[in-house]
Chain A
């Protein structure tokens, strides 16, 4: 532990155990128990963090990412721009359209092409549907971490509707490989628009049920209100992003701040909350899901009736010498790609910057001083997906 971490550790220890510091120091070593919330733990995903517990309070936390590191960025250098798509969508396979969206935008800038309008609309629709799929999965796991098995089954069931839509659109349930530099791979099938509107209208009614049984449940409120407070300045200084940032009172959404593709033609509000606690971090994605439904309806309305969806490229396109940087709002926060190209058909260097890896910096900050019982709600509300953070 570094010096400043040592001081904050002692300060938190003093506050939480309410003894004098001398007594704390000698008693502390005896009373602390080290728990390894590791990969083989039902409450952690494929990620390990070590915590030291004094009674019921957590006094030390050390996240340890890297369990599922695959070398995604290095693998990109051996494949050309089109062959990179299947393996680049695997880090967050549930949200695969968004993680390849940013890549496609950056490569399009390097290749100097512009996607036709209908292709941009279809890309945005697939991105919104995928955002719903990811957020429902996140909500399901959040429910089961808090012991609410019904809140696991309902979102998992409703997610099937969106997966059905995406399977009709792209051909595969989860591993879409739909976005490609130049546009999208195929046009929408017949009857898709009516089916999509039908499902979205049904889903809007389901959102009210989620509120009744989960968000307005007094037990859930008691457990998450005023727990794990992340004040606004700390959130900005630590560099968290996505729904965590919006739950701390900062109305930042990449789709509004730097609109890409057709998001400047769509009318939506950035959802944020000022209470900065764990309940806000759980409620903001729910509000985002409602906004997503509005956005999808507008996109389906405004889509041009006919047109190209893809720019015809040669089979091994070569990029211009230079670099490109593009940012996209994924389910976990801002996801950006920085690609350097040296004129050949394979990229020279690809750097992926994900929201999960930045959000995990807030975990020791929030867990120290809170109870062991708050660990699942704080950890999962940070929207951390281990595979994406390790790439």
Chain B
């Protein structure tokens, strides 16, 4: 649906392209190349198969297939790849972006309308890119009485904390950015930062509606952290370890969901409250307090906060899958060898690819379950929310913990399988 502007002249267009290329060449040769050489002067070059890889060797290796595979294998196992691309930021951001698009289309189908339709040839698939470009081009307005350092830095801290959470999630056997022995506890510790961030941002906005929204966010998130931790405690009793990889491997015979369904339910409701999703979206209630603690966000700050929220959604859905649904365990459906009879170096590892596949499918299923209440429920009120969080959910999670303890002491289950 795009049209060329009325007075489009091809000569001007070509001229602007040439101007752009000129500037790219100037900046690369005067600034970029010297920077690269300075970096290469100070950082030692990596080794592979006993040879030092200089940039020229690197480029020639890429062209030759038998020498490319060790390079790729080496790159995949570096730390920066893990943190930035695979189980880390880019994978999570890709899932977050897909979630935003799928949420809009899913809700639209439930409400008998089409969602985004015109951006991109097939049913609006480039809508997110269009939204991102739009947000980047907007002006970020900070209120004049706002506390500037905190106002500008809080959204970045929000995204950084949400991204830090993705570093603890194991996606496949052996593929986790940081394999802590107290992984589960670390997740709850980092989750405890979010009420503080919401309160900081709303306080520094220096305005009435964000103030009310920030207080509501604080009450809500703190009230639901306790049932959250208590429901995860039943799983710790069953697996005898706080390490997330060990929790997944303890489910090799059956999912923990079968013994602890009440805990799963409590975990699900608490994660809806932590994510501020409908029906618990009071901190951003539009008809009562304009947009709650997000009122003064505009432009890319709003974009960063949405990205952080959807990263948190991925993390909590992945946590549900790890704790209750067996993580990456699933029947092996990928063949052992992609090319039968090949005996050289391989990047393809059948268990790992199988694990990634099942993990992604299960996470998507849980994400759909989290998106569903948005289509069928209105918003809840603060006193009903606090009543539910402090009374009902804590009682339910205790009941399940006692059931699990009874089963363990009765000798029916040991940590790691049926007795």
A56's nearest neighbour on chain B, judged by CB, is B382
B105 within 8 Å of A by Cβ?
A: no
In the complex the two chains form, is B208's CB within 8 Å of A35's CB? yes
Contact pick for A371, options B208, B278, B381, CB 8 Å: B381
Contact with B along A354-391 (1 / 0, CB 8 A): 00000000000000000111111000000000000000
In the complex the two chains form, is B285's CB within 8 Å of A147's CB? yes
Known: A35-B208, A371-B381, A373-B382. A147 touches B286 (CB 8 A): yes
In the complex the two chains form, is A223's CB within 8 Å of B287's CB? no
Across chains A and B, the number of contacting residue pairs, with CB separation under 8 Å, is: 86
Measured between beta carbons, the chain A residues less than 8 angstroms from B296 are none
Category for how many chain A residues contact B: 20 to 34
A325 within 8 Å of B by Cβ?
A: no
Majority SS at the chain A contact face: helix
Contact with A along B212-255 (1 / 0, CB 8 A): 10000000000000000000000000000000000000000000
In the complex the two chains form, is A148's CB within 8 Å of B378's CB? yes
A157 to B228, CA, bound (A): 39
A201 within 8 Å of B by Cβ?
A: no
A158's nearest neighbour on chain B, judged by CB, is B112
A50 within 8 Å of B by Cβ?
A: no
Interface centre among B110, B212, B287, B376 (most CB of A within 10 A): B287
In the complex the two chains form, is B382's CB within 8 Å of A219's CB? no
B112's nearest neighbour on chain A, judged by CB, is A157
A44's nearest neighbour on chain B, judged by CB, is B287
A153 within 8 Å of B by Cβ?
A: yes
A56 to B215, CA, bound (A): 11
Category for how many chain B residues contact A: 20 to 34
Measured between beta carbons, the chain A residues less than 8 angstroms from B375 are 149-150
In the complex the two chains form, is B374's CB within 8 Å of A149's CB? yes
Measured between beta carbons, the chain A residues less than 8 angstroms from B377 are 148, 217, 219
Known: A147-B279, A151-B378, A219-B377. A373 touches B288 (CB 8 A): yes
Majority SS at the chain B contact face: helix
Contact pick for A150, options B208, B289, B376, B380, CB 8 Å: B376
Contact with A along B376-415 (1 / 0, CB 8 A): 1111111110000000000000000000000000000000
Contact pick for A376, options B110, B208, B279, B288, CB 8 Å: B288
Shortest Cβ distance from residue B281 to the other chain A in the assembled complex, whole angstroms: 7
B107's nearest neighbour on chain A, judged by CB, is A149
Which of A100-108, A138-146, A164-172 sits within the interface? A138-146
List, sorted by A's number, 26 A–B pairs whose CB atoms are closer than 8 Å.
Answer: A35-B209, A43-B286, A43-B287, A43-B290, A56-B382, A146-B378, A147-B278, A147-B287, A147-B378, A149-B374, A153-B111, A157-B111, A157-B112, A214-B378, A217-B377, A219-B377, A219-B379, A219-B380, A219-B384, A220-B378, A222-B381, A371-B381, A371-B382, A373-B288, A373-B383, A375-B288
Q: Which 5 A-B pairs give the minimum distances between C-beta atoms? A: A147-B379, A43-B287, A153-B111, A148-B378, A146-B378
Known: A147-B285, A373-B382. 18 other contacts (CB 8 A): A143-B378, A147-B287, A149-B107, A149-B111, A149-B278, A150-B111, A150-B375, A153-B111, A157-B111, A217-B377, A219-B379, A219-B380, A222-B380, A222-B381, A223-B384, A373-B383, A375-B288, A376-B287
